[in-house]
Every structure is written in C-alpha cells, then in structure tokens.
C-alpha cells in the first residue's frame, strides 16, 4: 500500500478533529498566519493561513522536473526582457486595448532610454498542475510564471514543510515524514536580496518594500524582511506605498532614489501588479521614479512585463523559445511543460480561436494580462466576456489557455538563482 492510500485510509478510519486542532495551534505558534478580514490593517488579531492538513502526494519525477526546469525559465524570462524589439512586437496589440499594460510599457520604454544598462533582480515563481488522462502518466504543465510579488516564500515554504512533518508524525506516519523534501526558499530569497543590496555598493542605502495600504498577507512579507536582517543586521528595511513614495521620494543629482532623506539601494515590489495599486497619476509617477533611479528593482518593469499571459501564448509558438535559448535540452525541458495557448488578435486566426472556445468552453480558461489571482474567467463568464469583446480589439488583451480538467494537484517552484542584468546572483 502506497503512502497516499495509507493516508486516505487513516482519514477514513479515525477522527481527525484533534489533529486539526493541533495543526492550527502549530501553525499559529510558528507564524503561519495572516491578518483577519475584519481587521486587515491590524496585527492585534490574526488567524492561521489556509493550509492542507497533510501534504499532497507529488510524483517524485515531476517534482524533480519542476526543479530542473526552473533555471531554464529564469534565463529565458530574463533574456526576453533584454530584447526591446521582441518586447515591442509582443505587446503591440495589447497596448492599444489594455491601458494598464500600456502604462507599464511606457515606463519600460522611458527607462530603456534613460538607464539602458541598469541592474535588476527577479524573483521568479512558476506554478504547475499535473495533467493525467486515462491513457497517460501524470505530466507537469505550467500554469503561469509569476514575475512580481511572488508570495508565500515566507510562510509557505520551510514553515509549512515543518507543519506537515508534525502532522504526519502525529498521525503515525513517520516514514512518510522522512520523505518530505527540504524547502529553503525563504533563506535563498533573503540571501539573494542581501546579495543584490551588496551589489548596489552603499552600506548606508536602505531596502524598500513597496506595499499596499491593506496587507492581509503581511507576515509572509515580514518573514522575508526579518530573515534579511538576520543575514545582514546592518540592513534597514522600510515599507512604503506607491502613494507615499510619490510624496516623500525623488532623485538626487546623481539619479539615486531618496525617500525621507534616505538613499534607496534595493526595491522589492509586493504591490504594483494591479490597476488598483495606481489610483492616480501620483502612483504612476512613483513607479517611474523608482524604475529610472539607480536603485535595483525587483522586479524591474521589463521583468514584470515578460510575466504577462500574452508572453506565455507567444512562447508556445514554434521557434519562439529557440530565439532565446540555444541549448536543445533546455528548450525541450521548457517546452515539455507547455499547454495549448491561443491569441485573440483581430483577424481570422483570432476568430477561429473564439469559435473553438465557444463550442467547448469547458475545455478552456480566459486570462487577462493581470496578476494577483481571481482574474481568470471560466464557463458561462468566459462565454459572456467573449461575446462582449469578441468583435473589437478589446479581445486582444486576453489569451485563451487549455484547461486540463483532470489536474490532480498543483506545485510551485521558486528559482534557485535570481537573474540580474549584469550578472547572476
């Protein structure tokens, strides 16, 4: 009997109520927590973050595949961001129909003219699902690449691994607990940020976390902040919204970013990925200030743009990955994770894609060029949106992805290295 079957049998035969209570206490004691919806701006009252009581079984070969391909994706996404002509071509249709993407692209072009060799850092997280049909073994399929505000590196990695180790042992499955892989994402992410701060070359410069006014998931951010300070106690981390940066920040004569009379060496975005984060021109001005300063941005706007859903659809086309990656094995590793994507540009090809989706909507998902979750459209909502925008260029701001309805589990992989313009950290 395999481990998954044994765990299932355990859940069927025994009451898990006490194990749930113990796991919740363990989560709270070990910082797997979030602010509450009723008090989203206060840490006086917290709740445990959502978690599975027991770990999800993951085929070892797919787990190892996700790890092995991550470096390939890191180099691919960075290489794309350094090709202005390709970027302009990729976003040519979107910027006429998607105002948010257009504003980001305008900042990209401005920064390209002012700071063409500026160093940047990327924290890249790939999300996967496992696809299985009756005729095949499970396969690893990439859902998206997250290039900005990639979350849960703080409370969702080594801490959740520790929680699952506890629940497995508490349930009598010590042998399964020993097979849990180590997860050092928090340490690696913090060390990479420290390395980037060192690269800036000014020990008096602060690190800035760009945040929103309301941060339910603040402890995930603070876990990363505190680990940074453990690694390098001399580092000072400040937290500002884009609105505050517009009011308190500016460039000095040398192009350095200065906020509240403190030079900024590194900028880490946990905001800036949604139109809601730019309620006025002040926030766009702040983003431009940060992007065109000497501060190292994580991500730079070029890295953020290559995480757009449109880029996934373009890369799935023949010879696109090969434009940036010459190693055949690397190309194969990347392409093995791809699913079917369809663009909705004006013309016969886009028309055919829409008709295909309308005939079998259960097989597809409609995605706008947005991050942060909750933006995708399925089934009736997808059909209604396609009928609304299908006859004009608004449809160009969406892509269609095949939906593998038999996906059994999901997996996220953080890149082991973070790419910069001038070197690898």
pLDDT at 417: 39
Query: What's the rounded Cα separation, in Å, for the pair 67 and 75?
Result: 14
DSSP structural state of residue 392: S
Q: Which of 103-130 are b and which e, b meaning 16 or more Cβ less than 10 Å from the residue's Cβ?
A: bbbebbeebbeebeebbbbbbbbbebbb
Does residue 120 belong to any structural domain of this protein?
Answer: yes
On whether residue 95 sits in a domain, the answer given is yes
Residues near 104 by Cβ (< 8 Å), separated by ≥ 6? 301, 304, 305
Q: What is the pLDDT of residues 287-320, one digit of tens each?
A: 999 999 999 999 999 999 999 999 999 999 999 9
| HEC profile of 49-73 | CCCCCCCCCCCHHHHHHHHHHHHHH
Distance CA 276, CA 297 (A): 20
8 vs 95 pLDDT, higher one: 95
Confidence at residue 316, expressed as pLDDT on a 0 to 100 scale: 94
Residue 221 resides in a domain = yes
Instruction: Give how many domains the chain has, as a whole number.
Output: 1
- In percent, how much of the chain has pLDDT > 70? 90
Q: Write out pLDDT tens, residues 362-372.
A: 999 999 888 76
Specify if 240 maps to a domain: yes
Q: Binding-site residues for Mg(2+), please?
A: 144, 146, 371
Assess if residue 55 is contained within a domain. no
Q: Which domain holds residue 102?
A: 60-311
Confidence (pLDDT) at 63: 93
Report whether pLDDT(342) > 50. yes
Which residues are part of a known binding site for substrate? 125, 221
Q: How confident is the model at residue 408 (pLDDT cuts 50, 70, 90)?
A: very low
Kindly state whether residue 381 falls inside one of the protein's structural domains. Answer: no
Q: Over range 404-410, report the average pLDDT.
A: 49
The mean pLDDT of 186-197, rounded to a whole number, is 97
Specify the long-range contacts of residues 39-48, CB closer than 8 Å, at least 24 apart: 40/214, 40/215, 40/216, 41/213, 41/214, 43/218, 43/219, 46/219, 48/24
Least confident among 96-105, 327-336, 351-360, 398-407 = 398-407
The pLDDT value recorded for residue 319 is 96
Residue 395 resides in a domain = no
Q: Measure the CA dihedral 392/396/401/402, to 10°.
A: 40
pLDDT in tens, 26-82: 999 999 999 999 999 999 999 999 999 999 888 999 999 999 999 999 999 999 999
Q: Which residues are annotated as a binding site for ATP?
A: 144, 309, 367-376, 378
258 within some domain: yes
pTM of the model: 0.90
User: For residue 413, what pLDDT is reported?
Assistant: 64
CATH number of the domain bearing residue 129: 3.40.50.1760
> Looking at residue 418, what is its pLDDT?
38
* Annotated binding-site members: 125, 144, 146, 221, 309, 367-376, 378
Q: How confident is the model at residue 358 (pLDDT cuts 50, 70, 90)?
A: very high
Q: For the chain, how many residues are written?
A: 425
């Amino acid at each position: 009997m395999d481990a998954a079957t044994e765990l299932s049998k355990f859940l069927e035969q025994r009451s898990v109520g006490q194990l749930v209570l113990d796991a919740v206490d363990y989560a709270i004691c070990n910082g797997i927590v979030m602010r509450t919806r009723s008090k989203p701006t206060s840490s006086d009252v917290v709740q445990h973050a959502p978690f599975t009581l027991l770990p999800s079984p993951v085929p070892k070969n797919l787990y190892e595949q996700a790890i092995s391909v991550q470096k390939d994706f890191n180099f691919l996404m960075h290489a794309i961001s350094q090709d202005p002509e390709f970027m302009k071509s990729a976003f040519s249709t979107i910027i006429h129909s998607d105002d948010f993407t257009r504003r980001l692209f305008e900042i990209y072009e401005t920064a390209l003219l002012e700071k063409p060799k500026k160093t940047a850092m990327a924290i890249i997280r790939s999300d996967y699902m496992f696809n299985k049909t009756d005729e095949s073994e499970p396969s690893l399929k990439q859902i998206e690449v997250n290039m900005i505000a990639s979350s849960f590196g703080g409370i969702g990695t080594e801490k959740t691994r520790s929680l699952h180790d506890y629940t497995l042992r508490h349930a009598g499955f010590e042998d399964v607990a020993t097979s849990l892989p180590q997860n050092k994402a928090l340490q690696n992410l913090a060390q990479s940020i420290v390395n980037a701060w060192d690269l800036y070359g000014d020990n008096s410069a602060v690190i800035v976390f760009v945040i929103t006014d309301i941060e339910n998931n603040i402890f995930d951010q603070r876990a990363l902040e505190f680990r940074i300070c453990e690694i390098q106690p001399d580092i000072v981390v400040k937290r500002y919204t884009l609105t505050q940066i517009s009011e308190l920040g500016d460039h000095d004569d040398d192009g350095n970013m200065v906020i509240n009379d403190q030079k900024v060496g590194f900028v880490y975005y946990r905001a800036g990925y949604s139109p809601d984060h730019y309620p006025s021109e002040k926030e766009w001005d702040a983003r431009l200030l940060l992007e065109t300063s000497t501060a190292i941005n994580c991500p730079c706007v070029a890295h953020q743009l290559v995480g757009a859903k449109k880029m996934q659809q373009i890369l799935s086309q023949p010879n696109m990955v090969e434009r940036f990656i010459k190693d055949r094995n690397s190309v194969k590793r990347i392409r093995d994770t791809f699913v079917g994507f369809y663009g909705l540009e004006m013309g016969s090809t886009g028309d055919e894609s829409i008709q295909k989706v309308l005939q079998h909507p259960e097989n597809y998902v409609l995605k706008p060029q947005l991050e942060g979750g909750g933006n995708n459209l399925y089934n009736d909502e997808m059909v209604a949106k396609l009928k609304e925008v299908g006859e004009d260029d608004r449809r160009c701001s969406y892509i269609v992805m095949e939906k593998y309805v038999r996906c059994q589990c999901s997996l996220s992989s953080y890149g082991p290295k973070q790419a910069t313009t001038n070197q690898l950290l």
